[in-house]
Amino acid sequence: MNNQQVECGCDEIPQSLLSTDEALDILLDSVKVTSKTSYLELDDALNGILAIDLYSSINVPDFDNSAMDGYAINLETDKVNIPGGLTFDITDRIAAGSIGNNLSPGCAARIFTGAPIPKGANTVVMQEECSLTDNDSKIEIYRPISLKENIRPKGNDIEIGDLILRSGIKLMPQDIALAASVGINKLEVRGRLKVGVFFTGDELVDPGIEVKPGQIYNSNRYALVALLNNLGCEVINLGNIEDSLDSTCKALETLMHECDIIMTTGGVSVGEEDHVKPAVELLGELSLWRIKMKPGKPLAFGKVGNAAFIGLPGNPVSAIVTFLLFARPFIKKMQGYSDILNNTIKVESNFDWNISKSRREFIRVRIDNSTIPPKVEKYPKQGSDVLSSIVWADGLAEIPERSTFSSGEILDFYPFIEMTS
């Protein structure tokens, strides 16, 4: 394998280019959270984005109950924590879902986990600590007994008025279970975003078709659709379109009134065959289109009709990286997520960085979690066309502008496992 790194000579970036932080701020400041909501049965609510804060109208549990199988006892005051054996008459049996009778002083009731504590009872002793006597009509206990043992009080988990789930969360199985525990059978969730996509480049061919000289398979189409599906979007896919201004305009016009977002890959640079940028400017407006970063400098953002527009670079690595760093937080905010930014962890570089560059770089690295902090090694080829590097890597290490360092530098690491799930 040839590990030679090919440099493009484009590190001298004009000052007019935006930093990654500026670009992300512009994107996020423009977002309008979708107003579309619907009510879903609990069985259908998994992975939905909760639209409202959820409060409990009941206590959980709604009554004092037993934490285990054993005996509920009306322990007299003078018998609390005394040494020696105590004997209690068994006068009742209480299973979960049933209500026991009033328990007199010195009496016990057989009780099971979750069953309501009967009136008069003030403690529960687990069955393993009780000995049955007199044809199982009495129990004897040979240790000191405290009040309120093994009793789960009313409202122990949730009290009336408690905020149990916050709006903007992605509903997980445990969230749905919590809603069910307070008697809620439907949840209001944000509607799915409609995202229209198309792909420019006459050289692109779909898998399954034999490529001719000068053609390549379109990996961007399948990467972008998969990334959008992971975010729960409804994708309207126009596929590959002819690399012309007229065809690009027609694709935008098809999607601009139907979709919340339009996304493309390729065609947002400044070449004569890059038609997406002028088409967007013709039909709408373009807010930014070049960012001081690698990979992914040509990133377009604007509006066409009712739809936001995001144009990703054409190189496969650049398309994926810019989607993860910019489009993903944008989409999550529009979906109504409360937590929209990518999470990072601190890692230690297992490589030197000897050349100071004027733009921020996000390099593909593999992580070694056997050390503290974890160490990362970089893929030998960092070109934006090397798609295999994304598969090899565990995530992206962020290299700040104008940086040089030796092995051991602490860097921010973006795990793919979080950004692609």
pLDDT of residue 255: 96
pLDDT of residue 15: 41
Query: Model confidence at 246, in pLDDT bands (50, 70, 90)?
Result: very high
Query: Are 314 and 289 spatial neighbours (Cβ–Cβ below 8 Å)?
Result: no
Inform me whether the pLDDT recorded for 14 exceeds 70.
no
| The model's pTM | 0.87
pLDDT tens profile 314-371 = 889 999 999 999 999 999 999 999 999 999 999 999 999 999 999 999 999 999 999 9
Higher pLDDT, 287 or 12: 287
pLDDT of residue 21: 93
pLDDT of residue 393: 98
Give the residue from 320, 420, 340 showing the smallest Cα distance to 31. 340
pLDDT tens profile 161-173 = 999 999 999 999 9
pLDDT, mean of residues 192-197: 97
Question: β-pairing, 123-126 with 107-111?
Answer: unpaired
Distance between CA 188 and CA 366 in Å, rounded? 40
Which structure tokens are listed for 295? 């990979």
3-state secondary structure 151-171: EECCCCCECCCCEEECCCCEC
Mean pLDDT of the chain: 92
Query: Are 346 and 410 spatial neighbours (Cβ–Cβ below 8 Å)?
Result: yes
Query: Are 364 and 378 spatial neighbours (Cβ–Cβ below 8 Å)?
Result: yes
Distance between CA 421 and CA 419 in Å, rounded? 6
pLDDT of residue 83: 86
Give the residue from 391, 393, 360 showing the smallest Cα distance to 376. 393
Inform me whether the pLDDT recorded for 269 exceeds 80.
no
Distance between CA 335 and CA 168 in Å, rounded? 8
Distance between CA 100 and CA 94 in Å, rounded? 6
Please name the residue that has the structure tokens 């044809």. Answer: 135
pLDDT of residue 287: 81
Which helix or strand (DSSP H or E) is residue 20 part of? helix 20-29
pLDDT of residue 204: 84
Inform me whether the pLDDT recorded for 272 exceeds 70.
no
pLDDT, mean of residues 292-304: 89
Inform me whether the pLDDT recorded for 413 exceeds 90.
yes
In percent, the amount of the chain with pLDDT more than 70 equals 95
Q: In residues, how long is the chain?
A: 421
Q: Which residues pair with 90 in a beta bridge?
A: 108
pLDDT tens profile 31-89 = 999 999 999 999 999 999 999 999 999 999 999 999 999 999 999 999 999 987 899 99
- Structural domains in the chain, CATH included, are 20-36+191-335 (3.40.980.10), 37-60+159-190 (3.90.105.10), 65-152 (2.170.190.11), 345-419 (2.40.340.10)
Q: Which residues pair with 303 in a beta bridge?
A: 285, 308
Give the residue from 222, 238, 233 showing the smallest Cα distance to 334. 233
Distance between CA 96 and CA 114 in Å, rounded? 5
pLDDT of residue 290: 81
Which amino acid would we find at residue 155? Answer: G
266 Ramachandran zone, left/alpha/beta (phi>0; psi -120 to 50): left
Inform me whether the pLDDT recorded for 402 exceeds 70.
yes
pLDDT of residue 7: 38
Distance between CA 51 and CA 36 in Å, rounded? 9
DSSP state of 315: S
